[in-house]
Chains A and B, each alone.
Chain A
Amino acid sequence: MSLYEELQALRADYPAGTRSAVLPALRLAQERHGWLSREVIEEVADALELTPAYCYSIASFYDMLHLEPVGRHGIEVCTNLPCALCGAQQVVEAFESALGIRAGETTPDGAVTLRTVECLGGCGYATVVAVDHRYRQHVRPETVPQILEELDA
C-alpha cells in the first residue's frame, strides 16, 4: 500500500470533516521517511486535503516530529528533575563521550542522534533513556556501552 492509500485508511478512523487524522498521518509519514521534509509534509497535506502550511504548523508543535534529518537510531536521555537528581547528567556525558558527539547532535556516520528530553514518565526508575522509543530504565554510566553495543547488533 502506498503512503497515500494508508493515509486514506487512517482518515476513515475519524469523524468526517475533522482533522484528527493529521497527527497519526504525520507520525506514519515519519516512520516511512525518517523525518518530515518539506516534500513529505506536502504528501501528507495532499492526502488529507489540507494545506502544507497547516500540516507544518502541526509538525512544528510536537517534539516527537522531526523537521530535520535524524540518525537511524535515536537515544533520548531524560534530564528532568527526578532523573537529574539521580545522576542523569553523568549518563548524558557517558553517551557523549562514547559517541563522540554532544547532546543534540548526530554521529558523523548518521547512525545515532543523541538528545536530552523532558520527563519520560519513568521517574521511579531513573535514569530513563528511550532507545529507538523503547525505554531503558535504571541506566547508569556503566550501562551505556552495553546499550550502544545492542544498537550495533
Chain B
Amino acid sequence: MPETRLLLAGVDEHDLTKLSEYRAVGGYQAVEKARAMTPDALIEELQKATLRGRGGAGFPMGRKASLIDRRSPKPKYLVVNADESEPGAFKDREVLARAPHRLIEGCLIAAHAIESHDVFIYIRGEYLAEYEILAAAVEEARQAGVCGDVRITVYRGAGAYICGEETALLESLEGKRGQPRPRPPFPPLQGLYMAPTEINNVCTIASVPIVIAMGAEAFAKTGVPSSPGTAIFSVSGNVVRPGNYELELGTPMRELIYDYAGGIAGGRELKAVIPGGSSVPALTPDEIDVPLDYDSLGAIGTFFGAASLIVVDDRCCMVQLALRSTKFYMHESCGKCTPCRIGTRWMVQIIEAIENGTASYDDLELLDSVGDDILGKVLCALGEFAVYPVHSYLHKWRSEFEAHVELGRCPFGGASSLEGIVAPSDPQALAPVHQEALA
C-alpha cells in the first residue's frame, strides 16, 4: 500500500539529514518564497491552509500565529515542541532523525510570519541520537547562511512527560520545574520569558514548508476539508507490521490497521485500539470503521491526539491495561494540582485492588467518581489523560472488570499479555542502590 509522503517525502531515496540533499529535493525554496511575502500575507496563507496542530490539540496553526502580539516591544519567540513522550507516539522522532531540514525550514518560515528571530526546539532528553542529528543540521544550515537573522537553539529536556504540555515546556525552558501555568494568559500573549510565543509540534512546523510550496489552496484540498494534509501515524502493539505510516487525514482506521500494518499479529483477535496515544478513550473492534481525522474521531468520543494507534489483541486483560496506564500518569503527574496528584494515586490503588480480586462492585463506582473529581479540575490535560482511557476501559469492557470482582481474581489467570509488567513507580523497581559497592 503506498503512503502519501509529504513530511517524509524523499527520506528513503536521499539522506535528508544533509543540507545538499535536502536542497536537491527542492528544500529551502519555500522559505525563499515565504520571505518574499509580508508577515501578514504569510499568516493569511497559513490560515487559509487550516493546518491543524499535530501535537494533540488540533488547533489551527495559522490562527495561532495570527494571535501573536507582533507589536509587542518584547522579542517574539517560536518554540517547537519536540518533547514527544506520549506512549504510542514515535512520529516526531522520525522527522527529527530523517528530515531535520524540513523542520528547520518550517521554523524559518514560521519565524518570518511572527517576526521572530529566536527559535527554540525543545527535544526530549532521551532522544540523544535525534538531538545529534538535529543539532548538526541546525549548524549546517547556519553555516550555509539559510537561517538569516534567525537563531535556532536546540534545548534538551531531562525526562518528564509533563514537559510536552506547552506551558510546562515553557517553564522547563526557562530553567524551572516543568509545571503547567494557569491560562490565560495564553502563550501568544505571554509565553517564553513572558513574551509573545508561538508553540507548535514538530510535525506541524515541518508541514509549513509543504503548505508554502504547494500553496494553501492546494494543501487544503488534501486530506479532508476539516483536517487537510497528511499525518504520520505511529502504529504499535499487536500488529504484524508496526511502524510509522504517513497518510492523508481521513484514511479509514481499518485500512491503516489491516492493510498498512498487516492486521493483528499471530492470527489473534483485535480487542481494542487506543487511537491517539495512551491518553485517549479506547475503541472496540466494531468502532474502527472511522476516518482518521480530528472531527470524525471526536464524533465517536475519542481524540485524534498524537496520531498514534496502540493496537491490543485478545490476550490482554483490560484491568491490567488500565493499571499500567494509570501508573504512568501517576508517575508523570507534576504534583501541582491536588486532584491529579492525589487522584492518580487513588486510581492506581483502586485498580490494583480490582486486579488482585479484593475490590467490590462499589469500587468500580468509586473508580468512576475519582476520575470525575479530576476532570476539569486541573490546570492541564494530564489529569484528563489519566482518566479518559480508564473510563473507556471501565465502561466498554465493564464485564471484564466485574469478572475480577465476581471471581475474586484476574479471570486471565496469569495468561494476560501484560501479566507481571513492572512500572518505574513500582516499589520493586525503586530498590535502593548498593551505595557501599560504589564507594
Which residue numbers of A lie inside 8 Å of B, CB to CB? 13, 15, 18-24, 26-27, 57-58, 61-65, 68-71, 79-82, 84-89, 92, 102-110, 113, 115-126, 130, 133-135
**A63 CA / B325 CA spacing, docked (Å):** 18
Are B128 and A133 closer than 8 Å at their CB atoms?
yes
User: Which residue from chain B places its CB closest to the CB of A128 in the assembled complex?
Assistant: B90
Task: Report if A119-B237 is in contact (Cβ < 8 Å); known contacts: A27-B158, A134-B128.
Answer: no
- A-B contacts, 28 listed (Cβ < 8 Å): A19-B176, A21-B175, A23-B156, A23-B157, A23-B175, A58-B177, A62-B159, A65-B159, A79-B324, A80-B324, A80-B328, A81-B328, A82-B87, A85-B238, A85-B312, A92-B422, A102-B431, A106-B433, A110-B434, A110-B438, A118-B161, A119-B161, A121-B93, A122-B93, A123-B308, A124-B234, A125-B243, A135-B129
Across chains A and B, which 8 residue pairs bring their CB atoms closest together, nearest first? A19-B175, A63-B159, A123-B236, A62-B158, A64-B159, A82-B236, A124-B242, A22-B175
**B331 contacts across to A, CB distance below 8 A:** 118
Are B175 and A104 closer than 8 Å at their CB atoms?
no
Q: Which of B406-439 contact A (CB under 8 A)?
A: 417-424, 426, 428-435, 437-438
Which residue numbers of B lie inside 8 Å of A, CB to CB? 84-90, 92-93, 124-129, 153, 155-161, 172-178, 193, 234-238, 242-244, 274, 278, 308, 310, 312-313, 316, 321, 324-325, 328, 331-332, 334, 417-424, 426, 428-435, 437-438
Task: Report if A124-B176 is in contact (Cβ < 8 Å); known contacts: A89-B421, A115-B429.
Answer: no
Task: Report if A130-B308 is in contact (Cβ < 8 Å); known contacts: A65-B158, A68-B435, A119-B85.
Answer: no
Task: Report if A84-B85 is in contact (Cβ < 8 Å); known contacts: A64-B126, A123-B234.
Answer: no
**A111 CA / B434 CA spacing, docked (Å):** 11
Task: Report if A121-B85 is in contact (Cβ < 8 Å); known contacts: A80-B324, A103-B422.
Answer: yes
**B235 contacts across to A, CB distance below 8 A:** 124
| Binding site secondary structure of chain A | loop
**A111 CA / B420 CA spacing, docked (Å):** 27
**A91 shortest CB reach to chain B, Å:** 11
**B272 shortest CB reach to chain A, Å:** 10
**B119 shortest CB reach to chain A, Å:** 13
**A69 CA / B234 CA spacing, docked (Å):** 36
**A110 contacts across to B, CB distance below 8 A:** 434, 437-438
**A62 CA / B158 CA spacing, docked (Å):** 6
**A117 CA / B274 CA spacing, docked (Å):** 21
**A62 contacts across to B, CB distance below 8 A:** 125, 157-160, 178
**A15 CA / B90 CA spacing, docked (Å):** 32
Q: Which of B161, B334, B423 contacts A116 (CB 8 A)?
A: B423
